[in-house]
Structure 1
Amino acid sequence: MSVRQIDIEESVRSVEAALNYLLPGPDINRRFVSAGVEVNTGRYGPFVATIRDGRAIRDHFSFDRQGFRLLDAPTQVRDFSDIAEIDRVYPVEVEGYVREAFGADLVVPMGWMIRTSGEVASRQKKRDQPYRHQGGVQPPAGEVHVDTEPSRQLAAARRAYDRVRPGGPGFRRFIISSFWRTFSPPPQDCPLALCDARSVGDDEGTPNVLWVVDEIPQGDAMFAPMDDDGQMAAAIFRHNPAHRWWYFSNMTRDEALLFKFHDSDRSVGWRTPHTAFWDDSLPGAHPRESIELRSIAFFE
């Protein structure tokens, strides 16, 4: 970074908070998710980190450098507890914001998820079908991760592109991202911390295989032989003191964070580790309620 960039970034307020990183542990890393609960087989432990508040310098951030930006993004969704309204309005709305922000030719919205630091169990809908890991309510994800594992993303992008653009011209670049909005009043008690892409090595990260289940397995069953190679996976991270962390305090429902999970162009900031954290620096904090929607942006 240039001297000017360092001066700007050091001028802002910051908080000290514990972030959960992967610790030495079992060789098999899996994340089991079911309604209202998510359990990792890996061991995680807290490391105190400085998290800078980017609110005062929001125009300083770019997708190519840090891998994220805070956008002004008013929403037409009136009630984020209304699944039908979200399904009808939100994917199309987010598609437009993502296409404009990245300058992409095509954006394919994927699934969405509500997360809350408040009560989860009472928000779960009764299920008469197997659990699907989208369109529900889950707790905040409390460990440093990226929701994609690099080696599996080109194939995923090709599947998505062929589904919506059969016979299309193909793509030269794709970006998988998250569009993250909090809709509870500011300040929130458990905001999202984002790791500056410039501070993350390309060789960092351990695969964490995702298993969507009706019931969380117990004990040795979590490590039983399974077809991990055929599953989606995230990347989880060990502590690195070089990681440089940011958040944006007092987010409102008409703002959104757009950040990269995976950019096929690795000459720029191509992924953004992130995690929820508990912030006690601002008085009168409210439980965090947020919605995240993944998408793939294609450049043809």
Structure 2
Amino acid sequence: MAIITDDTIESTARTTLATLNYLLPGGPSINRRFVSAGVELNTGRYGPYPVTIRDGRAIRSHFTLARHGFTLLDAPTSITDFHDRAEVEAKYQDEVCEHVRQALGADLVFAQGWMLRSSSGERVAAHKAAEAASNKDEEGEGKKPYRHYGGLQPAAGEVHVDTEPSRQLAAAERLYARARPEGGPGFKRFVMSSFWRAFSPPPQDCPLAVCDARSVGDEEGTPNVLWVVDRVPETEEERLAEMDDAGQLAASIFEYREGHRWWYFSGMERGEVLLFKFHDSRPEERGGWRTPHTAFWDGSFEGARERESIECRTIAFWE
């Protein structure tokens, strides 16, 4: 009897060629990501690398969070219009938490916010203009600071993980205190993850690619400090000026490695979700403890449509 291995199963997958933006060596020593309404700008320099991306659609049951760091779930939603902010705010995060709790078997899941993304530059620009106009007072000044939550941003443009390992225990402790304001028994494990849903019709022109966590070394990744701002600094001198980076959240950004193994699921339907890990605190789960990811332009299908998606970040606790 022939032995069926991962390589045997995965060799049957359809492939497509694409370019992914990795961090280029030799750039600035300070890596920061400035985020404001409709715009995200990095100080690091990124370059396109040609890669093979495998389509996991036909073998979707092969992928698990524990081994690969990602999985495709059937996750129906009651949301009728993802552009209706009030509807999403009222119902979606509770839905997400329940789906994640069931998928991971955790005791407690806490939502960290949601964001819409679109591959359409025109749609993002129009949303940015509308947000700016609604935030102006009579003198034309902004009435409230930008909050990176519940808006519309462009598709992710570079290979990254939304967390940086050395900062995650402290972040988990803060979030657990918020989730259990009256106190709790404490936690022995936590998993930070993304719950990613494309809600525009398939096929989408700019889907999300995820990297098999087993193909990424534990030592890989460079901190990229997050600054949520009302206005992105206009000059490189401003962007690289002295700032208190130590007190900020950070992501991890990655340089190209030939061994990275990339996957996506073509033609995602509205009732499907890509669930993938940002950080798993349990050492024995290191086989799939974090998942680099990025959007890419997929030329596989004629008549591909604008990609619209919603992501919701959660943290799951085992108490």
Q: Higher mean Cα deviation, 261-270 or 232-241? A: 261-270
Matched, 1:192 2:223: no
Moved over 4 A (4+): none
Tell me what 2:125 maps to.
121
2:47 aligned residue (29, 45, 55): 45
Structure 2 alignment gaps of length 5 or more: 136-142
1:221 aligned residue (232, 238, 245): 238
Tell me what 1:258 maps to.
275
Matched, 1:19 2:36: no
Aligned residue runs from structure 1 range 84-233, under 5 A: 84-118=86-120, 119-124=123-128, 125=131, 126-127=134-135, 128-165=143-180, 166-219=182-235, 220-233=237-250
The one-letter amino acid paired with 1:121 is: A
The one-letter amino acid paired with 1:232 is: L
Quote the Cα distance in structure 2 between the aligned partners of 1:18 and 1:291: 23
Rg (Cα) greater in structure: 2
The one-letter amino acid paired with 1:111 is: G
Matched, 1:241 2:258: yes
SS of corresponding position for 1:295: strand
TM-score normalised over the length of structure 2: 0.92
Count of paired positions: 299
What's the CA shift for 1:6?
Answer: 0.3
CA RMSD of aligned residues (A): 1.0
Quote the Cα distance in structure 1 between the aligned partners of 2:108 and 2:218: 27
Matched, 1:60 2:59: no
Quote the Cα distance in structure 2 between the aligned partners of 1:167 and 1:96: 21
TM-score normalised over the length of structure 1: 0.98
Instruction: Give deviations 1:180-216, integer Å, cap 9, x for gaps.
Output: 0000000000000000000000000000000011111
Quote the Cα distance in structure 1 between the aligned partners of 2:96 and 2:188: 22
Quote the Cα distance in structure 2 between the aligned partners of 1:70 and 1:150: 24
Structure 1 alignment gaps of length 5 or more: none
Aligned residue runs from structure 1 range 262-273, under 5 A: 262-268=279-285, 269-273=288-292
Instruction: Give deviations 1:207-259, integer Å, cap 9, x for gaps.
Output: 00000111110220000000000001000000000100000000011100110
What is the percent sequence identity of the aligned residues?
66
Matched, 1:9 2:24: no
Instruction: Give deviations 1:113-136, integer Å, cap 9, x for gaps.
Output: 000001201123232311001110
What's the CA shift for 1:164?
Answer: 1.9
